[in-house]
Amino acid sequence: NLSYNETTLSSANCSDNFFDIINNRTYLHSSLIRTMASWQNRDVLLLFDVDGTLTPARRTVTPEILELLKIVRKKAVIGFVGGSDLAKQQEQLGPTILEDFDYAFSENGLIAYRSGKPLASQSFIGWLGEEKYKKLVNFILRYIADIDLPIKRGTFVEFRNGMINVSPVGRNCTVEERNNFEEYDKIHKIRPKLVEALKEAFHDYSLTYSIGWDKTYCLQHVQNEGFKVIHFFGDKAYEGGNDWEIYNHESVVGHSVKSPDDTVKQVKELFPDLFS
């Protein structure tokens, strides 16, 4: 698991084409200890992955899923967690997601909202400084320019509030191209080699590098909220998948789903009285 004072490289066998870089000391525990009265006696938390769980990959949520969540929210606190920034999550889940969900975790919890209000954070550039940030990005772009890949598209470095996201093949690639790069990367270790180069070049920057960011980061925001049980639903709950760590976390009851339709099925089985 990731911590605040360690540099961690997670499994390279993740199902995407990028990796993330954050600073180690920006995000502090929210330390929010509240009574469950604030949740109107809802003492169960349901956390959902986005892509492949609430929506088809990179697509928008269906009315059926939204209706399901509205009904379940009568008995449970609900939240989503994903690696994208909030703008991309709004494209998939709708512009009112901060009202539709009790918790919203963008960038896998680096950016967090509770009841529509942001929890404390600090920007990546604000902590690192513009000059160091430019040096880091220039290094990455030069490195990627010198890599011989089967294809390259666009958006190789994407700035987010709490991290920068790096994609050697480019985030503008298609789903098929992304999957092809994943298989190519398993053999040629493009991302792990780049991470090692960054660690060596920027060893004094106190950065954390993650290939397939670990979603357990979001749990710090909910573990002191008094929930009797925390359920997590994700479609990549297998070793090497980006839901694996949170699915297996000791404080979480994990549910592996195959699709948004399977999410609907499993949630209804968890709350049969709401759907009888």
Within 8 A by CB and 6+ apart from 129, the residues are none
Instruction: Round to whole Å and give the CA distance between 82 and 15.
Output: 13
Q: Can you list the positions of beta strands (E) in 90-224?
A: 103-106, 111-114, 117-118, 157-159, 164-166, 207-210
Q: Is 171 annotated as belonging to a binding site?
A: yes
Residue with tokens 């660690």: 199
DSSP letters, 2-51, are --TT------S--SSS-EEEEETTSPPP------GGGGTT--EEEEEESB
Q: Catalytic residue among 16, 20, 49, 102, which?
A: 49
Q: Is 49 annotated as belonging to a binding site?
A: yes
Q: Is 43 annotated as belonging to a binding site?
A: no
Instruction: Round to whole Å and give the CA distance between 190 and 194.
Output: 6
Q: Is 73 annotated as belonging to a binding site?
A: no
DSSP letters, 215-267, are GGGGGGGTTTS--SEEEEEES--STTSTTHHHHT-TT-EEEE-SSHHHHHHHH
Q: Catalytic residue among 16, 20, 43, 51, which?
A: 51
Residue with tokens 């976390």: 249
Instruction: Round to whole Å and give the CA distance between 181 and 175.
Output: 10
Q: Which long-range contacts (CB under 8 A, 24 or more apart) does 127-133 make?
A: 127/23, 127/25, 127/26, 128/23, 128/205, 132/205
Q: Is 160 annotated as belonging to a binding site?
A: yes
Within 8 A by CB and 6+ apart from 175, the residues are 57, 58
Active site residue 51: yes
Six token digits for residue 107: 């960038």
Catalytic (active-site) positions? 49, 51
Residues of the binding site: 49, 51, 58, 160, 171, 178, 235, 247
Binding-site residue set for Mg(2+): 49, 51, 235, 247
Binding residues for alpha-D-mannose 1-phosphate: 58, 160, 171, 178
